[in-house]
Chain A
Amino acid sequence: MNTRDFTRREFVQSLSAATLGALGAGYPRALLGNEPVESLPATADSVIVLWMGGGMAATETFDPKRFTPFEKGMNPNTVLSTFPSIPTSVDGIRFSEGLERLAQVMDRGTLIRSYTAGDLGFILHSRHQYHWHTGYAPPQSVACPHLGAVVARTLGPKNPAVPAFINIGQRLDVGEGEELKAFTTAGFLGSEFGPFNVAFPDAAKDVVTPPGGMSPSRFASRDKFYRELVEASPVGQLGSGYQKDSLLRSLDNANRLLSSSAAQAFDLSRETPETVAKYVPGGWDFSKRLGGDFTREGSYEKANIQRFGLGCLLARRLAEAGARYIEVTTEYIPFLNWDTHEHGHEKLANMKHAIDGAIAQLVLDLEERGMLDRTLIVVASEFSRDMMQEGKPDKPIKDQVPVPDKIESLTHYGMHRHFTDAGSVLLFGGGVKKGHLHGITADERPCKTLKDRVVIEDLHATIYRALGISPKLSYEIEKRPFYVTRDGVGQPISSLFAKPV
């Protein structure tokens, strides 16, 4: 089946009563002022968010400033970037060293350098991630849905055999896992729109194949036995109703997914080693499994380089199969990955190695398949970093990490602190301009936003706009409207779109 031909009408017809029941969980509604919520022509059908969890330093990635090489005894205040910059395929846009492959595809995308994270006071990664993913700062009086859940709820799956919202690479039982769970959810929209979590992309096929140790034939015979049992059950005498019917249909749906060809999209071992190597530094041996002593520092960070690439490859396969919203994260774990408090310079070299080829190849593969124009890729992080400044220039926050007066070793050479005034967001495809730069930041510390500031409401409105969703759309909960951008205030940044919207 060509999944793209699957129309909304067919989708609704194929939906089970179970799903329709769940659709009732939050009712779309117009604004209180009786303004109709417009239906907008979409420029994208699906979204892939590549999440740089932990606070990606813009000055070390997509917004390089003056390079100051390491010297023993150097004054930390003189350090703006710890890597030299490199040219990209677009004149006037330079990246930090280590992003050479991404630099080559910059002509396919739009770079925002003026993303400003929310003012949430004391900076807690998971709280800013909650804010980025829901548009609301916690705590909230209702369970806020994740961006992906709103998209899944509003647009539904592209292919009913593929979950609409797939979340790749984040374990929820590590570090601030409870805090991550608070936004990795469909909230009041109901679990039907919640994330389908795939923590380890190398083992993704396990989540859509019969449970451990069960052969396909046993799986089929279990299903056959179950159907016979339902048939033979005297429960029919107790009457029917939607409770019973929806339970049976939901199991049917799950069974359909597990037996469908779409499930093959989850199997990365179907890719050639050459393709895998384009995404994954050093390639990947599928007889190995991520896991084991994976969480130990050192071996974790080494393995994680490959894990993100596998996630991007999985995202490409799922996008092809018809997933609506996919998120791939480098995984947020306190003090690991982009959360660079000590040894920032060395850790960032590692992280750039992890993302450079993976993201670039994803862009190229989607382009080659003719899908890039209708797939919006968003590379983002909860906030940026700086060597000295915590928070914003006008709203300084208590420093979390001491910085010595003189830098004596690589331990303190790197971006230690959380900077919220200017961060980078990279967009590809989905109708955004190619080779475009949005926002200007200062060249000297504090490297703050000087022009075209972008806040989360507007970034979300832009993503929603690309998908044809109004930022004023709301869902009803406890008779109150819940707007998909905070209070409906989000404004799409129209200058980012290739054609006027």
Chain B
Amino acid sequence: MFAPRFRLSAALVLALLPRGWCAAPPPSAEAVAKLPAAATRPVDFVRDIQPILEASCVKCHGRGKSKGDWRLDTRETFLQPGESGPALAAGGSAQSRLIHLVAGTDPDEIMPQKGTKLTAEQVGLLRAWVDQGLKWPAEITFAKPPDRNLRPRRPLLPAASAAQPLDALLDTYAGRHGASFPAVVDDRLFARRVWLDVVGLLPSPEDLMAFVADPAPDKRARLVRRLLADNPRYAQHWLTFWNDLLRNDYRGTGYIDGGRKQISTWLYAALRDNKPYDQFVRELVNPTEASEGFSRGIVWRGTVNASMTPSMQAAQNIGQVLMGVNLKCASCHDSFIDDWQLSDAYGLAGIYADEKLEMVLCDKPTGKFAPLKFLFPELGSVDASAPRTNRLEQLARIITGPDNGRLSRTVVNRLWARLLGRGLVEPLDVMQNEAWDPDLLDWLAEDLVAHRWDLKRTLELILTSRAYQLPAVSLPEKPDPAFVFHGPGIRRLTAEQFRDALGSVTGVWQDKPEGGLDALLVEPGAARPLPAEAFWIWSDPHGATGVAPGTNWFRRTLVLEAVPSEATLFAHADNSVRVFVNGARVRGAESSDWSRPGVYDVRKALKSGTNVVTLEAVNGGDEPNPAGVLAYLKLRTRQGEGERVWDVASDATWLATTNRVEATQESSAAVTWTSAHVLGPPGLGPWNIGEALAQSVAGRPVYGQVRASLTGADPLALALGRPNREQVTTVRQSTPTTIQALELTNGDTLSRLLQQGAERLVSTGADGPTLATRVFAQALSRPPTPRELSLAVELVGSQPRREGVEDLLWSVAMLPEFQLTF
């Protein structure tokens, strides 16, 4: 039965012969004699042939490549002759050029040219395959796969479904996979999850109780909306996620000599204001001064490998973060693991380069230049002759344009993975892969675009879906290709969530923000009358109407019984001010805009006894113009539940001088100090900052209450998997390790934190049962069981001792129930 089939394929070959090719001479009898014998058993394409073709042929003759003008994408192209004629001959495998090439009967012409030669057994299988009729299932192709997840696609929601859109889509999915979903988790578990996922914090016992007691049927959706609307807490949590993705950090390599730039203030403001994602991306791709750190990359002094120049870093990071495309291989050579080529990486990098970029192949200059293009040229072109700023504008337009369905899919997939422990597409950076439910992915992506790229809208959809509310399941560590969705994965708290959760339990937080975020963290409160009366002051009584440019110094002496627990100076200045306490400059978030206060943490500079606060204020410009400074020093000391107020503000008791003095000198007799002139109250024109000042002072304290995401990594954070952000990180390692457990068990950072926390808890005066109950309720979002309570009280004592409380805190923090999101 084999022969007729063979004749059929041979006939096909002859029929397809084009004109013009140069047929190689037929093989000699000697060559034929050298051939390994054909296998005698029936061959199976999938089992026997496909692996040989994949391993030895496809790299050069498939996946878009056609060396020698011959492709084996499909059976049809296989049979089309290449440069040296048809692969097969009418005389069967013994006469076929393909077989002689892979058998190497002519030592000068052996295939494959690169890599390992085929074995005699493999040649025998190929011969049998040819002779048995070249069976090739039509669905198997070695062609370059079409770009997946690229074009926008809006699936229709199942008809006549009143359910939440994601539920409706997942119902269809479940039907297809014969899956059925269990009941959703209880209120307590849901609330804990949502709090951690939206704002990164544990709910307080009071918040939790109120939520559980609320009878409203839509309370879950309302909780989600309420938390999403808490802009500062939302920003402080999601900052971690985006810092990882955009490899932004407050410390790290490159900063030492200007080889790197932070985007912290830009990013924080973008998250707080929920900047539409398309605008967010435009500002990353075609940056402003505040956002350029992302595309500028990291530069160390010295020569840099061609694959890691700043413009290549920009190409890699834009590809990976925004488009789910890994260009790292293709930055040195055509990729071996996917279809990206060197010219793709250089085409994108060239858009960022100031000069034409010569392609360098594995450290060897090629003398060739790639045409400038985006990864998917069909989405739009970049004008290579345009100046760089215009090219970046064009690139930003292409990436955020309506034809690019990859940008939205990539980001919704990342959000889904963050909230449910596994992406719709895995790995998250290979968006060419198929989603486990393409309808769900595509619908979420299009919904994002349709709602002005509002990421909070996507989060709300996911958080209110039944999928998110299902009981957590243990997902395998490596994504399983045969994955079927049954529920969200059990997730571990991030380093930042872990630290902040301990902040909630102990009241001990990080001390100061980094990255110049101080001023952004001031959250105005409801304006109330100020404890101290503040005035605009200057050395000249006409400051408000206009005086000559120049510098004024102002000082005030301050006697303190003890250093306050909060000591924040707000300073409005027209035009700028520098702050000194006891002779030392205090750095803070400076402001050169009189409507916004500079914010300075002066706790560390103050001492008990006499202190001197000095302001060095500058009126800028070239001609007379309004000049004034207004300082408000908020000084508070916590006393039990209340606080003691020591506030001090600029007024006529401050001394002024226009003589240049060493502001660092505590007393300078040589200078004639006179009383400062009061210009008027905070509401005085042209400044009129009365309301703003009252709100700043009434706002939450900034210092001493700082979230982990706003500070550099400490050893505890590093041990718990916070990356050093030298590279883009899209998935953190969350597996517990022994080195990590050592840091948790006897590391200084945690040990100090727990000591302070225990001291605070003991100082509240609570008895053992009250204290233990409070710790459990805050840490685990549930009261202790009777057994737990009796164990805990036994440990801390009925009148709690610091050491016992410390050990209780440590033990609770190590519980899987605390560290994992079930």
* A contact set with B: CB distance below 8 Å: 16, 18-19, 21-22, 24-25, 32-34, 119-124, 127, 137-143, 163, 176, 178-179, 181-182, 185, 190-192, 194, 196, 207-212, 218, 221-222, 225-226, 228-230, 232-235, 238-244, 246-251, 253-255, 257-258, 478-480, 487
Contacts and interface: CB of A to CB of B under 8 A. Distances in A.
Given A182-B724, A225-B795, A210 B336 contact: no
Interface in B711-750: 718-719, 721, 723-724, 726-727, 733, 735-742, 744-748, 750
A479 B791 CA distance: 49
Contacts of B764: none
A253 B741 contact: yes
Contacts of B471: 238-239
22 contacts: A16-B738, A18-B735, A22-B733, A24-B477, A24-B478, A33-B116, A121-B304, A124-B301, A139-B313, A141-B316, A143-B723, A196-B742, A211-B745, A211-B751, A229-B792, A232-B787, A235-B816, A243-B490, A246-B736, A247-B492, A250-B738, A254-B745
A124 B300 contact: yes
B735 A257 contact: no
B727 A191 contact: no
B817 interface: yes
Nearest to A480: B329
Contact of B724 (A181, A212, A240, A258): A181
Interface stretch (B499-507, B524-532, B804-812): B804-812
B739 A163 contact: yes
A251 B810 contact: no
B684 interface: no
Contact of B741 (A123, A141, A208, A251): A251
B127 to A, nearest CB: 23
Nearest to A252: B741
A124 B308 CA distance: 18
Interface string B788-815: 1001100100000001000110111011
A251 B785 contact: no
Interface in B319-375: 326, 328-329, 331, 336-337, 362
A478 B429 contact: yes
B301 A246 contact: no
B474 interface: yes
A235 B253 contact: no
Contact of B819 (A163, A232, A247): A247
B308 A233 contact: no
Nearest to B803: A218
A207 B751 CA distance: 12
B303 A254 contact: no
Contact of A246 (B298, B300, B735): B735
Contacts of B811: 222, 225-226, 229
B804 to A, nearest CB: 9
Given A178-B252, A191-B719, A250-B740, A141 B724 contact: no
Given A139-B304, A478-B328, 12 more contacts: A34-B115, A139-B300, A139-B308, A191-B737, A209-B746, A212-B748, A229-B811, A239-B473, A243-B492, A247-B820, A249-B736, A254-B746
B746 A178 contact: no
B328 A141 contact: yes
By Cβ-Cβ distance, the 10 closest A-B pairs, closest first, are A241-B474, A121-B303, A121-B302, A254-B741, A211-B751, A250-B736, A192-B737, A235-B817, A250-B741, A226-B811
B251 interface: yes
Interface centre among B302, B326, B362 (most CB of A within 10 A): B302
B672 interface: no
Contacts, number: 222
B307 interface: yes
Given A137-B305, A139-B304, A178-B256, A257 B738 contact: yes
A251 B816 CA distance: 11
A248 B818 CA distance: 12
A194 B726 CA distance: 16
Nearest to B747: A211
B423 to A, nearest CB: 15
Contact of B814 (A21, A137, A185, A251): A251
A250 B737 contact: yes
A212 B751 contact: yes
B654 interface: no
A24 B478 CA distance: 9
A240 B820 CA distance: 11
B253 A143 contact: no
Contacts of A225: 791, 795, 807-808, 811
Nearest to A246: B736
Given A233-B788, A248-B816, A480 B302 contact: no
A221 B816 CA distance: 19
Contacts of A179: 253, 256, 300
A392 to B, nearest CB: 13
Interface in B427-450: 427, 429
A249 B735 CA distance: 11
Given A138-B253, A191-B737, A218-B807, A258 B478 contact: no
Contact of B785 (A25, A176, A234, A257): A234
Nearest to A255: B745
A441 B523 CA distance: 66
A333 B480 CA distance: 47
A435 B474 CA distance: 59
B714 to A, nearest CB: 10
A260 to B, nearest CB: 12
Interface string B456-493: 00000000000000011110011000000000001010
Contact of A257 (B742, B792, B807): B742
Contacts of A249: 736
Contacts of A229: 788, 791-792, 811-812, 815
A450 to B, nearest CB: 25
Contacts of B817: 233-235, 238
B2 interface: no
B181 interface: no
Contacts of B719: 191
A383 to B, nearest CB: 12
A179 B816 CA distance: 35
Contacts of B21: none
Given A127-B302, A178-B253, A190 B724 contact: no
B255 interface: yes
Nearest to A215: B803
A238 B316 CA distance: 41
Given A139-B304, A182-B726, A239 B751 contact: no
Nearest to B329: A480
B580 interface: no
Given A124-B300, A232-B788, A234-B785, A191 B733 contact: yes
Contacts of B721: 191
A246 B471 CA distance: 20
A120 B816 contact: no
A226 B736 contact: no
A111 B18 CA distance: 68
Contact of A253 (B429, B724, B738, B751): B738
Nearest to A207: B746
Interface string B637-664: 0000000000000000000000000000
Given A139-B726, A218-B803, A178 B251 contact: yes
B738 A190 contact: no
Identify which of B308, B733, B816 gathers the most chain A CB atoms within 10 Å of its CB. Answer: B816
B822 interface: yes
Contact of B300 (A127, A190, A222, A255): A127
A36 to B, nearest CB: 11
Given A241-B490, A478-B328, A480-B329, A222 B810 contact: yes
Contacts of A221: 807
A122 B304 CA distance: 10
A228 B474 CA distance: 24
A238 B724 contact: no
A254 B738 contact: yes
